[in-house]
Structure 1
Amino acid sequence: MKFRKSITVLVILVAIFASLASISGIFSKGGPGSFDYTSIRGEKVTLYGIGLYRHMSADVAIQGIAQDYVTLFIGVPLLLIAFFWAMNGSLKGRFMLAGVLNYLFVTYLFYMNMAMYNQLFLIYILLTGTTFFAFILSLLSIDIQKLPEQFSEKAPVKFSGIFLIVNAVIIALLWLSIIVPPLIDNTIYPDSVDHFTTLTVQGFDLSILLPISFLGGLLLLNRSRFGYLIATVTLIFLSILMTALVAKIIAMANAGVNVIPAIFIIPVINLISVICSLKMVKSLNAK
Structure 2
Amino acid sequence: MRKQILLAFLSLVVAILAIISTSIGLFYSTDGEPFEFITLHGDSITMYGRGIYAFDSFFKVPILRGTDAIILFVVVPYVLLNSFLYMKHSSQINLLFLLSGLFSILYYATSITFGVHFNSLYLVYILIFSASLIGFVWGSSFVDFPLLTKEVSSKYPYRGVVIFLFIAGCSVFIWLVEIIGALATNEIPFGAIGYTTDITTVLDLGVIAPLSFITCYLLVKRKPIAFLFASNLVTLSGFIGLMVIAQTVAQALEGIILPVGQYVGFVGTFVMLSLFAFSLTIRMYKAFGNNSEQV
Structures share a fold, TM > 0.5?
yes
Structure 2 CA distance, aligned partners of 1:49 and 1:122? 21
In structure 2, runs of 5+ residues without a counterpart are none
| Mean Cα deviation higher: 45-54 or 242-251 | 242-251
**Contact 2:113/2:122, CA 8 A, preserved across alignment:** yes
- The number of aligned residues is 285
Offset of 1:249 from its aligned partner? 2.1
AA partner of residue 94 (structure 2): G
* Residue in 2 that maps onto 1:72: 72
Structure 2 CA distance, aligned partners of 1:237 and 1:193? 23
Q: Are residues 1:269 and 2:273 paired? A: yes
* Residue in 2 that maps onto 1:174: 174
Offset of 1:206 from its aligned partner? 1.3
Q: Are residues 1:286 and 2:281 paired? A: no
Offset of 1:117 from its aligned partner? 0.3
Where 1:51 maps in the other structure, the secondary structure is coil
Structure 2 CA distance, aligned partners of 1:191 and 1:120? 25
Which runs of structure 2 are paired with 1:3-14 in the superposition (5 Å)? 3-14=3-14
* Residue in 2 that maps onto 1:225: 224
AA partner of residue 180 (structure 2): V
Deviations 1:219-274 (A, max 9, x none): 11221111122112221222223222221122223433314321211101111111
* Residue in 1 that maps onto 2:186: 187
Offset of 1:160 from its aligned partner? 0.6
* Residue in 1 that maps onto 2:55: 55
Same amino acid, percent of matched pairs: 23
**Contact 2:151/2:292, CA 8 A, preserved across alignment:** yes
Deviations 1:1-32 (A, max 9, x none): 57224313311211211111111111111142
Deviations 1:141-184 (A, max 9, x none): 2101242332111111011112102211121x201111112222
Where 2:37 maps in the other structure, the secondary structure is strand
AA partner of residue 252 (structure 1): Q
**Contact 1:49/1:55, CA 8 A, preserved across alignment:** yes
RMSD (Å), alpha carbons = 1.6
Offset of 1:41 from its aligned partner? 1.0
| Mean Cα deviation higher: 33-42 or 127-136 | 33-42
Deviations 1:72-104 (A, max 9, x none): 111111111000111122222111100100010
**Contact 1:163/1:217, CA 8 A, preserved across alignment:** no
The alpha-carbon distance between structure 1 residues 269 and 253, as it changes in their structure 2 partners (threshold 3 A), is farther
AA partner of residue 219 (structure 2): L
Which runs of structure 2 are paired with 1:202-241 in the superposition (5 Å)? 202-241=201-240
Structure 2 CA distance, aligned partners of 1:117 and 1:100? 26
Where 1:52 maps in the other structure, the secondary structure is coil
AA partner of residue 245 (structure 1): V
AA partner of residue 6 (structure 2): S
**Contact 1:162/1:221, CA 8 A, preserved across alignment:** no
| Mean Cα deviation higher: 122-131 or 87-96 | 87-96
In structure 1, runs of 5+ residues without a counterpart are none
**Contact 1:45/1:194, CA 8 A, preserved across alignment:** yes
Where has structure 1 moved over 6 Å in runs of 4 or more? none
* Residue in 2 that maps onto 1:123: 124
| Mean Cα deviation higher: 109-118 or 249-258 | 249-258
AA partner of residue 38 (structure 1): I
Structure 2 CA distance, aligned partners of 1:203 and 1:193? 11
Q: TM-score, normalised by structure 2?
A: 0.92
